[in-house]
Structure 1
Amino acid sequence: MSMEDSREGKLTLVTTKPCFGLPTDQIPYVESGRYVAYNNEKGGVIDCLREDGIVDLDSDFRTIPEWISMKAMVSSWLVDALVYELWVASDKTAVQKIYFSDLAWPIGTILHLKQSYAAKLHLGVTSENAERIETEIYSKASLAYGALSTQLGDGSFLFGDRPSSLDALFLGHTLIALQVLPDASVLKSKLLNFSNLVKYTEKLSTELIDPSAQSAVPAWSRVPSSEGNPSTSTNKSGGFSNWSSKPKSKPKKERTEEEKKFRRRAKYFLTAQLVSVLVFLSLFGGSDAGEVDFDEGDEGIDYYD
């Protein structure tokens, strides 16, 4: 199918496994007829659509110095801040629900520890510099939010009268920060200090995300105006501060004998999985110790188990 034919069709963003009221997936993609653009190819869906001649979101902006610098700032400072919040600064509740909810507990725990270590390595966090790195990350995030808030003003988009890839990147960031991070999040509190950025997120989310599929998300139109005092948006009812509040506990229903048996079997199953993982790690973790040196008849070759 030619690119001209693909332009006539409707572009559809395909994702799976909704979580926190947001569509989430490791590899989302856009399709139109037989044309497909994957997010793990050519720099992502946006670059695929541009290079393949489908649509260029940035044709009017990529020569504007301020736009270039702000996109670089979102792609670096704010990405690092979100990585730090999800994998280093907070408990694993949010990432467990997004990434590991379908996995057995021991496997999910091991993968979380692995990713947390990778995040610390990426950010350069060690036990000696942890406090300094954290201060730098949040300071850069505050500067980024301030610059974006000034650029946005009362407009609908960050530049001009239509969205660009900068809007796409920043909206993805703000949706996660506001809907996924807990109320105690430092990054979330810093974002809530800028009421125009919160309203910007509300407006675009209402327009772009199907409200019928977001049953867990309150109506964003109830977030009050906070002109002159942007931080007040965290204290009003119906705002983002209530998104992570726990629902009232329901009276416990007495389990049947069959349910009790099922729970006992589930515990045994998880225990068996944990033992198997530990045995696997112990066996392969010690495999390097199996080095055997043979005599000269083997021409100096070392064999390893």
Structure 2
Amino acid sequence: MSMELYVWQADFDLLSIDFKCLQFLAACKFCALPVTIIHSAKPSSSPTGEFPYFKVIDNRGQISEQITEFPKFVEFLRKCAFQLVLDSDLTELQKAEVEAYQCLLKKTLYPAMAHIMWKDDANYSTVTHKWFSSVMSFPRNFVYLERKRNKEINYVKAVNLTDINIIKHAMRTITNLSNKLGDKKYFFGDKPTSIDALIFGYLGPLLKLPVPSDRLQIHLLACSNLVRFVESILSIYLVIPEEQRKMAQLDKKEWLARKVEAQKDAHNKKKIIKDKKEVKAAAENSSMREVVIFGIGAIILSVAFAVHTGILVFDDDMAPQKNHPWHTVTTAAWRKYPNPSNGNVIGMDVLSQKIDNNVLKSERILQSHFSVPGWAAKLTGFSGTQYSHEYTEIDPNSKYMSLLTRNLNGSSFMHINEKLTYVPHPSDPEKTILKQEASVDVSLPAFTDTCEKAFLHTYSTNAVKGRKGMEWVIDIIKKEYTELTNLFETEVAEISDKVMNAFRHN
């Protein structure tokens, strides 16, 4: 007897790009199943026309069993009489809980994966379409992509939720999974089971794929224990061969370059040309009156940027304290936009994100919009849209988070830098200390002191607004956690009771 498992090819530091394939692969590795893994780009070999596809071939060369669904594959592995049996240490109640999670994640995370990979136009054109077109031969690739995308879009529509609500439900589920995992290595202890394979399959692509619309990815990155969970399985059980890893590293640079290039074109190309023309036109008129107006326009720009960056507390005398634990405050910092205290921030895009020595490093572009008088926009080149670069490092082990923010446009005559650091209170773990530093450098003779003082004054006076904004986000997080926990416990209990009743009747 022999066994074969057909999956999509490896890429993006994953042994397969498809989340269902990753679930099958993880389950195989957890129980050391003696199966031949075949990476393929021809799903027509499967009876369903999709991967994964698992088959058992008997001694006569005949196919004795075919499996394409994960629950049936788990059932098969539990019955196998090999050296290691999947879920052998689980109680009947825990096995019922696994089935409950299978139903729940199919209801919440599956629609999100279908939306991210197949319905979202930016993600589909940047990642999905390009990847499948490159690994499959013509014209099979176009036929498959058209059929697959229509199928997944119809599935998302059948859920009968808006795109925003699909992502929100997935975010809540990820938060609940993070709370359930806690400090454990795996969800049921120190030994991986089918529930770990199930959850890993969903989270792996969410963490690794370079999708432009990455709100769910950013939320996952904020759950450091789930990131550690995924990276641990990748490094122990689903290790990519060294040669493939080197090729993937080269490809990763190309994917990142494509993403960065697209973002730069979208945000800066037209704006840069317009800014240069307007700044040049303003510079040609050297009258004192226009120089004075230009200086006033610079003050308006500095104040506008201060409003944008002033959402957090600023205090010259001592580091402000937040009456919440470090992990709560840092989660709120990731999700601080949008909030009622600052509606100027209208967009965020991730340039890069990686895990380096267990430290999350991320770069984002923040887009804000302010109302600016027409004469100031004409003379300064500032149309009311402000772009800022944010660099973040989060070390969950030492509980340290830092954010560095600087302005991008308007830098020809003004540089603004802000640094935030979050650390736990040394004597009270229920509190967090925030240290905030800001500097402004104005390149306008005779107006330097005026502009810098105006910026720092506005920055300081936004302290109350900053506290309200953070507290609002923290309240939302607590409310989401409470609501989701109650809903989650209710659904798991109901499904567990149904499964246990089924066991009793059988």
What TM-score do you get using the length of structure 2 for normalisation?
Answer: 0.37
Cα distance, 1:203 vs. partner?
Answer: 1.4
Distance 2:9 2:139 in 1: 21
More strand by share: 2
Find the partner of 1:50 among 71, 75, 78. Answer: 78
Cα-to-partner distance string for 1:67-112 (whole Å, 9 max, x where unaligned): 4433322233112211110000122332235433244566533432
1:195 aligns with 2:224: yes
Distance 1:13 1:217 in 2: 26
* Identity across matched positions, percent: 21
Aligned residues of 1:19 and 1:97 also touching (Cα < 8 A): no
Distance 2:150 2:4 in 1: 36
Distance 1:20 1:37 in 2: 31
Distance 1:81 1:101 in 2: 24
Q: Which residue in the other structure is 1:253 paired with?
A: none
CA RMSD of aligned residues (A): 4.0
Find the partner of 1:19 among 4, 7, 11. Answer: 11
Is the partner of 2:132 in helix, strand or coil? helix
Cα-to-partner distance string for 1:224-253 (whole Å, 9 max, x where unaligned): xx9552576x867744758xxxxxxxxxxx
Is the partner of 1:47 in helix, strand or coil? helix
Alpha-carbon spacing, 1:169–1:110, altered in 2? closer, same or farther (3 Å)? same
Cα-to-partner distance string for 1:45-74 (whole Å, 9 max, x where unaligned): 433222344423265155136544333222
Distance 2:115 2:216 in 1: 10
Alpha-carbon spacing, 1:217–1:143, altered in 2? closer, same or farther (3 Å)? farther
Q: Which residue in the other structure is 2:239 paired with?
A: 210
1:84 aligns with 2:76: no
Aligned residues of 2:6 and 2:54 also touching (Cα < 8 A): yes
Listed as ranges, the gaps of 5+ residues in structure 2 are 17-38, 40-50, 251-325, 335-351, 364-506
Q: Which residue in the other structure is 1:142 paired with?
A: 171
| Matched length | 223
User: Matches of residues 63-82 of structure 1 in structure 2 within 5 Å?
Assistant: 63-64=93-94, 66-82=97-113
Is the partner of 1:21 in helix, strand or coil? coil
Find the partner of 1:169 among 194, 198, 218. Answer: 198
Alpha-carbon spacing, 1:42–1:93, altered in 2? closer, same or farther (3 Å)? closer
Cα-to-partner distance string for 1:255-299 (whole Å, 9 max, x where unaligned): xxxxxxxxxxxxxxxxxxxxxxxxxxxxxxxxxxxxxxxxxxxxx
Distance 1:205 1:169 in 2: 14
Cα-to-partner distance string for 1:154-185 (whole Å, 9 max, x where unaligned): 11001222111110011111111111242532
Aligned residues of 1:13 and 1:31 also touching (Cα < 8 A): no
User: Matches of residues 254-265 of structure 1 in structure 2 within 5 Å?
Assistant: none
Q: Structure 1 residue runs of 4+, over 4 Å off?
A: 11-16, 28-39, 41-44, 65-68, 104-107, 234-242
Find the partner of 1:60 among 90, 93, 103. Answer: 90
1:120 aligns with 2:153: yes
Distance 1:32 1:156 in 2: 35
Is the partner of 2:52 in helix, strand or coil? strand
Alpha-carbon spacing, 1:156–1:189, altered in 2? closer, same or farther (3 Å)? same
Cα distance, 1:43 vs. partner?
Answer: 4.6
1:76 counterpart letter in structure 2: K
Cα-to-partner distance string for 1:173-212 (whole Å, 9 max, x where unaligned): 1111111242532221221121111111111211112252
Alpha-carbon spacing, 1:170–1:217, altered in 2? closer, same or farther (3 Å)? farther
Distance 2:57 2:142 in 1: 38
Alpha-carbon spacing, 1:178–1:217, altered in 2? closer, same or farther (3 Å)? farther
Aligned residues of 2:5 and 2:52 also touching (Cα < 8 A): no
Is the partner of 1:177 in helix, strand or coil? helix
Cα-to-partner distance string for 1:33-52 (whole Å, 9 max, x where unaligned): 97997652785543322234
What TM-score do you get using the length of structure 1 for normalisation?
Answer: 0.59
Aligned residues of 1:192 and 1:198 also touching (Cα < 8 A): yes
Distance 1:235 1:102 in 2: 25
Alpha-carbon spacing, 1:47–1:57, altered in 2? closer, same or farther (3 Å)? same
Aligned residues of 2:14 and 2:234 also touching (Cα < 8 A): no
Q: Which residue in the other structure is 2:285 paired with?
A: none
Which protein has the larger Cα radius of gyration, Structure 1 or Structure 2? 2
Q: Which residue in the other structure is 1:269 paired with?
A: none
2:146 counterpart letter in structure 1: L
Alpha-carbon spacing, 1:181–1:73, altered in 2? closer, same or farther (3 Å)? farther
1:99 aligns with 2:124: no
Alpha-carbon spacing, 1:135–1:62, altered in 2? closer, same or farther (3 Å)? farther
Listed as ranges, the gaps of 5+ residues in structure 1 are 219-225, 243-305
Distance 1:210 1:165 in 2: 19
Alpha-carbon spacing, 1:217–1:236, altered in 2? closer, same or farther (3 Å)? closer
Alpha-carbon spacing, 1:42–1:199, altered in 2? closer, same or farther (3 Å)? closer
Is the partner of 1:138 in helix, strand or coil? helix
1:60 counterpart letter in structure 2: L
2:128 counterpart letter in structure 1: V
Is the partner of 2:186 in helix, strand or coil? coil
